[in-house]
Amino acid sequence: MSNVLAYKGYFAPVEFNAEQHVLTGMVAGIKDAIVFEGSTVEEVEQCFHDAVDDYLEFCAEKGKEYCSKICCMYTAKHAMLIRDKYPDTEVYVFYIDVRTPGKNFDEFYRRAVEEYGVHYIKGMVGKVSPEGKKLKVQASDLIYGKQLHIDADLVVLAAAIEPDKSARPLATMLTASMDTNDFFTEAHPKLRPVESPTAGVFLSGTCQGPKDIPETVSQAGAAASKVIGLLCKDKLMGNPCVAHSDEMMCNGCSTCEKVCPYGAITYQDKEFRMPNRTTRVRRVAVVNEAVCQGCGACTVACMSGAMDLRGFSTKQIMAEVDAICK
Determine how β-strand 119-122 pairs with β-strand 92-95.
Answer: parallel
**C-alpha–C-alpha distance, residues 324 and 326, integer Å:** 6
In a domain, 326, yes or no: no
Q: Which range has the worst mean pLDDT, 58-67, 125-134, 223-232? A: 58-67
47 and 110 share one domain: no
Task: Note down the domain range covering 10.
Answer: 4-62
Residues 54 and 83 in one domain: no
pLDDT of residue 1: 42
Distance, in Å, from the CA atom of 191 to the CA atom of 264, rounded to the nearest integer, reads 25
Assess contact for 17 and 6: CB atoms under 8 A.
no
Residue 137, Cβ neighbours under 10 Å: how many? 19
Residue at 37 is within a domain: yes
* CATH code where residue 86 lies: 3.50.50.60
Helix (H, G, I), strand (E, B) or coil at 321: helix
What are 156-186's pLDDT values in tens digits? 998 888 888 888 888 888 878 888 788 999 9
Task: Kindly report, residue by residue over 188-202, the tens digit of the pLDDT.
Answer: 889 999 998 887 889
pLDDT tens column, 93-104: 999 889 888 888
Indicate whether 109 belongs to any domain: yes
Name beta bridge partners: 244.
Answer: 308
